[in-house]
């Protein structure tokens, strides 16, 4: 009887959890998982800043083999997504196979022995180390949990607290404070509206303007969730509809310089201009509209 392969999974976000489940289901192998944080969730465990929600509809931002009829919103908040991942981890008995607060230090492929050498250490005690050989390694290292700070700006000279969204400090009272946000990407689009409600004044610093279109967020009614729970086929059809709808947005991105792509950009620019005019800031249209459209 052939020996079962050994499998290591680095990271316990969506990728890592899915890899461990599928390896068990399809190969009968219990993977060893390694996680730097104290719990599963990946980016949804590390990021907890105000206003954080997914920018992909909930019913497709989930495992196809584990649909969730109880999503509260079309775009789910951080805590709800992490709870979903924690429930999946419990359901498939993965917690006992995870080494938490463990940092991977080295991964080296040995051509002669035909296996991987992994070396790791405890994030709290660097003297506590370990190593192992594995036939297969799944790398689920998410980039959105690692803080990136702007280069060339002496942040350390700033007198007030400096907070990175990937390491949000919940002990600070942000009420009636003057707050500066550096960046204008997806994170800024979410955190700025949330902080605006509590700050005395909010300054937004951008290097490159971003396309910002209406999100059309909405909550699922009790009746809808009841139907999803009791008639799974209805939820499956709905998920399929969202899948194709989201997938078709690639046309706008993948064919950026086509006639259709330029048409979509003109519509987006018109929408952004209309919203800025509505709030009395037409002067910001040139600064906030990306490139030539």
Nearest one of 37, 83, 91 to 62, comparing CA atoms = 83
pLDDT in tens, 39-70: 999 999 999 999 999 999 999 999 999 999 99
Q: Which two tokens stand for residue 36?
A: 């730097």
Rounded to 10°, the helix 232-247/222-230 angle is: 110
- Cβ atoms of 101 and 39 within 8 Å: the answer is no
Q: What is the pLDDT of residue 150?
A: 77
Q: Where on the phi/psi map is residue 4: left (φ > 0), alpha (ψ -120 to 50), or beta?
A: beta
What is the model's pLDDT at position 145? 80
pLDDT tens digits, residue range 76-114?
999 999 999 999 999 999 999 999 999 999 999 999 999
Q: What's the pLDDT tens digit per position in 135-176?
A: 999 999 888 888 888 777 788 788 889 999 999 999 999 999
pLDDT of residue 158: 85
- The C-alpha atoms of residue 14 and residue 22 are separated, in whole angstroms, by 12
User: Residue 1: is its pLDDT beyond 50?
Assistant: no
Average pLDDT estimate for 167-194: 94
State the pairing for strand pair 7-10/102-110: unpaired
**More confident site: 144 or 217:** 217
The CATH T-level fold of domain 7-145 is: FAD/NAD(P)-binding domain (3.50.50)
> How far apart are the C-alpha atoms of 104 and 119, rounded to whole Å?
6
| Stretch(es) of the chain classified as CATH 3.50.50.60 | 7-145
The Cα angle at residue 78 between residues 73 and 79, in degrees rounded to 5: 95
Q: Is the pLDDT of residue 293 over 70?
A: no
When pLDDT is averaged across residues 181-205 and rounded to a whole number, the result is: 94
Q: What CA–CA distance (Å, rounded) separates 90 from 266?
A: 47
Banded pLDDT at 292 (limits 50, 70, 90): low
pLDDT one-digit tens code per residue, 229-277:
999 999 999 999 999 999 988 887 888 888 888 898 899 999 999 999 9
Determine phi and psi for 130, rounding to 5 degrees.
-160, 165
pLDDT of residue 152: 78
């Amino acid at each position: 009887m052939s020996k079962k392969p050994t499998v290591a999974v680095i990271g316990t976000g969506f990728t890592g959890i899915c890899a461990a489940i599928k390896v068990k289901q399809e190969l009968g192998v219990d993977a060893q998982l390694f996680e730097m944080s104290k719990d599963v969730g990946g980016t949804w465990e590390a990021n907890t800043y105000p206003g954080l929600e997914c920018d992909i509809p909930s019913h497709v931002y989930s495992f196809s083999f584990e649909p969730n009829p109880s999503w509260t919103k079309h775009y789910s908040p951080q805590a709800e997504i992490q709870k979903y991942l924690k429930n999946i981890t419990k359901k498939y008995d993965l917690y006992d196979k995870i080494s938490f607060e463990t940092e991977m230090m080295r991964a080296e492929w040995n051509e002669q022995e035909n296996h991987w050498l992994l070396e790791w250490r405890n994030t709290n005690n660097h003297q506590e180390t370990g190593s192992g050989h594995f036939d297969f390694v799944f790398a689920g290292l998410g980039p959105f949990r690692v803080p990136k700070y702007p280069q060339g700006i002496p942040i350390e000279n700033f007198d007030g607290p400096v907070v990175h969204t990937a390491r949000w400090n919940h002990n600070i009272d942000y009420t009636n404070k003057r707050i500066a946000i550096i960046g204008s990407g997806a994170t800024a689009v979410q955190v700025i509206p949330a902080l605006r409600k509590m700050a005395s004044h909010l300054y937004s610093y951008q290097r490159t303007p971003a396309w910002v279109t209406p999100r059309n967020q909405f909550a699922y009614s009790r009746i809808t969730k009841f139907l999803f729970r009791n008639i799974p086929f209805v939820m499956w059809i709905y998920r399929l509809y969202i899948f194709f709808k989201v997938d078709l947005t690639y046309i706008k991105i993948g064919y950026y310089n086509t006639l259709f792509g330029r048409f979509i950009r003109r519509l987006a620019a018109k929408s952004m201009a209309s919203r800025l005019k509505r709030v009395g800031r037409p002067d910001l249209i040139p600064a906030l509209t990306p490139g030539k459209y």
